[in-house]
Amino acid sequence: MINRSYKLRKIDLKEFKRIYKNNLKNVFPFSERKPFFLIKKMYQENKYTCYILEKDNQLKAYAAFVWKCEKTLLLDYFATVQEERGNGIGSIMLEHLKNELNINSLIFECENPKYAIDENEKITRTRRIDFYKKMEHTFQMQK
């Protein structure tokens, strides 16, 4: 069931640049971030898109995608704003995206916990995988 108190919105490159500078850079380590010029190029080629989830005009989460082919997306970045983590916002956003996206496949990519540099990173990687596995069952796409 979709939580209608949240609004999903597709954003343009200018708005994504603000997300990149103000949010994404604080969440994703340098090694996991694409240079902005590359994202800009993909946006201009219609190979990249980003959605945000808002409540009362406040950013709650964002998801950026790379088009792999016409009906397949790779989830490039997905994050909930710091103060909302652990409140189910990620699940709410994926439910909204499920209804918005006209695709057959969504690719989730995660780092292997086995190669984490420390215990905290291992826990984070394991939690991400568990979250995506849980969402896999609720994010069944219509072909």
Q: Which helix (H) or strand (E) holds 128?
A: helix 119-138
Q: Is residue 115 part of a domain?
A: no
Q: Is residue 142 part of a domain?
A: no
pLDDT of amino acid 141:
45
- What confidence category does residue 4 fall into, taking pLDDT thresholds of 50, 70 and 90? confident
Q: Is residue 84 part of a domain?
A: yes
Q: What is the CATH number of the domain that holds 71?
A: 3.40.630.30
Question: 109 CB contacts (<8 Å, ≥6 apart)?
Answer: 74, 75
Query: Burial, 96: exposed, middle or buried (Cβ in 10 Å; 0-12, 13-18, 19+)?
Result: buried
Q: Is residue 120 part of a domain?
A: no
In this prediction the pTM is: 0.85
Q: Is residue 129 part of a domain?
A: no
- What's the domain count of the chain? 1
Helix (H, G, I), strand (E, B) or coil at 101: coil
pLDDT in tens, 41-100: 999 999 999 999 999 999 999 999 998 887 888 999 999 998 888 888 988 998 888 888
Q: Is residue 114 part of a domain?
A: no
86: domain range? 7-109
